Amino acid sequence: MKRKLLLLAMFLGLQYAAFAQSKKVTGKVIDATTQMVLSGVSIIADGTKGATSSSTEGLFSLDVPLATSSIRVSYLGYQEQSVRLTGQPLLIALTAQQNELSEVVVVGYGTQKKKDVTGSISTIGAKDVGGRQTVQISEALQGAVPGVSVTRSNGAPGAGSSILIRGITSLNNNSPLIIVDGVPVSNIDNINPNDVDNISVLKDASSASIYGSRGAAGVILVTTKRGKSGKSSLDYTFEYGLQKATANPEYVGIQDYFRYFNERSINDGGTNIRTDEFIDTYLENNSKDPDAFPNTNWQDVIFHKNYAPRKRHDLVLTSGTEKLKTKASFGYANSDALYDNYNYERFLFRLNNDLQISSTLSANVDLSYKRTNTQTPTYNPIYDSRILPAFYDDHYTDGRYAPAKEGLNPIANVLEGGTTDGKLNQLQGRIGLNYKPIKGLTLSALISPTFDFDKSKTYNKQIKYYDKEDPARQIYVRGASTTLSESRTERYAINGQLLANYSTSIANEHNLDALLGYEENYDNTENLGAARDGFPLLGYPYLDAGSTQLWSNSGNAREAGLHSYFSRLQYNYKNRYYLQGNIRIDQSSRFAKEYRTATFPSFSGGWVLSEEKFLKGLRAINFLRLRGGWGRAGNERIGDYPYQANLTTTTALVYQNGVVVPVVGAGQQVYAIPNISWETTQSTDIGLDASFLDSRLNIAATYYRKKTFDILLPLDIPLYVGYDKPDQNAGTLSVNGWEFEATWKSKIGQLGYSIAVNASDAKSRIGDLKGTQTLGDQLIREGSEYNEWFGYRYDGIFQNAAEVAAGPVANASTKPGDFRFVDANGDGKITPDDKVTLGGALPRYQYGGNIRLDYKGFDFALVFQGIGKKLTRRTSESIQPFLSAFGNVPAEMVGKFWSTNNTEAQNLAAFYPRLSNNSNPQNYALSNHWLMNGSYFRLKNLTLGYTLTQKFINKVGLQSVRLFASANDLFSLSHFPKYIDPEAGDFAYPIVSTYLFGASVSF
Closest CA to 177 of 203, 151, 155, 159: 203
Q: What is the mean pLDDT of residues 363-378?
A: 97
Q: Which pLDDT band, with edges at 50, 70 and 90, does 412 fall under?
A: very high
**Residue 14's pLDDT is what?**
39
- Dihedral angle, C-alpha 808, 811, 812, 814, nearest 10 °: -70
pLDDT score, position 225: 93
Which pLDDT tens digit goes with each residue over 481-490?
A: 899 999 999 9
pLDDT cut 70: percent of the chain above it: 97
Instruction: Please give the pLDDT value at position 49.
Output: 67
For residue 943, pLDDT beyond 70: yes
pLDDT of residue 915: 97
User: Are β-strands 22-31 and 90-94 bridged in parallel, bridged antiparallel, or unpaired?
Assistant: parallel
741-to-702, 703, 947 alpha-carbon distances in Å? 9, 12, 30
For residues 578 and 628, the answer to whether their CB atoms sit within 8 Å is: no
Alpha-carbon distance of 873 to 877, in angstroms, equals 11
Q: What is the reported pTM? A: 0.88
Pairing of strands 324-336, 727-748: unpaired
What's the pLDDT at 762?
94
Confidence of residue 98 (pLDDT cuts 50, 70, 90): low
Q: Residue 706: its pLDDT value, please?
A: 95
Q: What is the distance between the alpha carbons of residues 377 and 346, in angstroms, rounded to a whole number?
A: 18
The answer to whether the beta carbons of residues 206 and 134 sit under 8 Å apart is no
State whether residue 576 is helix, strand or coil. Answer: coil
pLDDT greater than 90 at residue 84: no
Sign (positive or negative) of CA dihedral 109, 114, 116, 120:
positive
pLDDT at 238 over 60: yes
638-692 pLDDT, tens per residue? 777 778 877 777 777 777 777 877 788 777 778 788 888 889 999 999 999 999 9
pLDDT at residue number 16: 41
Q: 717-738, pLDDT tens digit by residue?
A: 777 777 778 888 889 999 999 9
The DSSP string of 152-191 is -S---TT---EEEESS---SS--PPEEEETTEEES-GGGS
Contact between 915 and 107 under an 8 Å Cβ cutoff? The reply is: no
Residue type, 888: N
Q: What's the whole-number mean pLDDT along residues 312-336? A: 94
Dist. CA 448–CA 365, nearest whole Å:
10
pLDDT band, very low/low/confident/very high, at 99 (cuts 50, 70, 90): low
CA–CA distance, 886 with 273 (Å, rounded to integer): 12
pLDDT of residue 417: 94
Instruction: Output Rg (C-alpha) for the chain, integer angstroms.
Output: 35
| Burial of 243 (C-beta count, 10 Å sphere; 0-12/13-18/19+) | buried
Q: What is the pLDDT of residues 463-521, one digit of tens each?
A: 999 999 899 899 999 888 899 999 999 999 999 999 999 999 998 889 999 999 999 99
- Pairing mode of beta strands 219-224, 177-180: parallel
Alpha carbon distance 542, 552 (integer Å)? 14
Interior/surface letters 28-49, b for 16+ CB within 10 angstroms, e for the rest: bbbbeeeeebbbbbbbbbeeee
Q: Does position 97 have pLDDT exceeding 90, yes or no? A: no
Half-sphere exposure of 200 (CA within 13 A, CB side): 27
Q: Which residue has the higher pLDDT, 996 or 84?
A: 996
In sequence order, what are the residues at sequence separation of 6 or more whose Cβ sits closer than 8 angstroms to the Cβ of residue 715? 725, 726, 727, 728, 730, 770, 772
Pick the range with the lowest mean pLDDT from 98-102, 278-282, 577-581. Answer: 98-102
- Structure confidence at residue 100 (pLDDT): 63
pLDDT at res. 31: 81
Q: Cis peptide before 913, with omega less than 30 degrees from 0?
A: no
787: left (phi over 0), alpha (psi -120 to 50) or beta: left
> Binning pLDDT at 50, 70 and 90, where does residue 857 land?
confident
As a whole number, mean pLDDT of residues 268-279 equals 94
Residue 187 pLDDT: 92
Under the banding of pLDDT at 50, 70 and 90, the label for residue 2 is very low
Using DSSP, state whether 955 is helix, strand or coil: helix
Measured between alpha carbons, how far is 142 from 148 in angstroms, rounded to an integer?
8
Q: Which of 588, 562, 733, 635 is nearest to 216 (CA)?
A: 635
Residue pLDDT, tens place only, 5-18: 444 444 444 344 44
Task: Summarize the confidence of residues 859-879 as an average pLDDT.
Answer: 94
Instruction: Check residue 11 and give its pLDDT.
Output: 42
Identify whether the C-beta of residue 63 lies closer than 8 Å to the C-beta of residue 70. Answer: no
Least confident of 34-43, 314-323, 396-405, 717-726: 717-726
C-beta of residue 910 within 8 angstroms of C-beta of residue 902? yes
pLDDT band (50, 70, 90) for residue 69: confident
- 36 DSSP β-pair partners: none
Look at residue 15 in the predicted model and tell me its pLDDT.
44
Task: Choose the weakest-confidence range: 316-320, 616-620, 695-699, 858-862.
Answer: 616-620
pLDDT digits (tens, 9 = 90+) for 800-828: 999 999 989 988 889 999 999 999 999 99
> How far apart, in Å, do the first and last CA atoms of the chain sit?
92
pLDDT at 6: 47
How far apart CA 576 and CA 580 sit, in angstroms, is 13
Pair 420, 378: CB distance under 8 Å: yes
Work out the pLDDT band at 889, boundaries 50, 70, 90.
Answer: very high
Does 20 score more than 50 pLDDT? no
Q: Is 833 helix (H, G, I), strand (E, B) or coil?
A: helix
- SS3 at position 322: coil
